[in-house]
Amino acid sequence: MENNHPLNDLQQLMAITAEEASELTQVCMKILRKYKSKDEIESKWQDKLIEELGDVYCMFDLLLEFGIIEEEKIYNRAQVKRAKLALWSTLVQDTPELKQLRESEEK
């Protein structure tokens, strides 16, 4: 990266991650409005979803590379989110382990 870039590394990482998260949000909302099942999704929108998820994944990788985040902490947080989804969605089957994790987070 050129030294005369107007934003430093952290500023670029935060700005681009926020932009890419926003682009992913837009694609998710379009698919939500247009389709009711996975099989209905036209390839154009599948491709857009891959593109924007890939962009966010790239930023995730860069945040790791630049030491902004730690992989283990992200993994742990993902487990907490999974435990919450077991309670608040139909996406995750609840287990005694997830229940225990939820309870440990409440303390």
Instruction: Name the site residues for Mg ion (rule: CB under 5 A).
Output: 20, 23, 55
- Residue with smaller CB distance to Mg ion, 52 or 86: 52
Please give the residue whose beta carbon sits closest to Mg ion in the complex: 55
Conformational region of residue 67, where left means phi above 0, alpha means psi within -120 to 50, and beta covers everything else:
left
Indicate the DSSP class of residue 75.
Answer: H
- Residue with smaller CB distance to Mg ion, 49 or 92: 49
Helix (H/G/I), strand (E/B), else coil: 37? coil
State in angstroms the smallest separation of the CB of 81 from Mg ion: 23
State in angstroms the smallest separation of the CB of 59 from Mg ion: 9
Pull the structure tokens for residue 58. Answer: 């790239």
- Residue with smaller CB distance to Mg ion, 61 or 94: 61
Pull the structure tokens for residue 44. Answer: 């154009």
State in angstroms the smallest separation of the CB of 60 from Mg ion: 13
CA pseudo-torsion sign 33, 38, 44, 46: positive
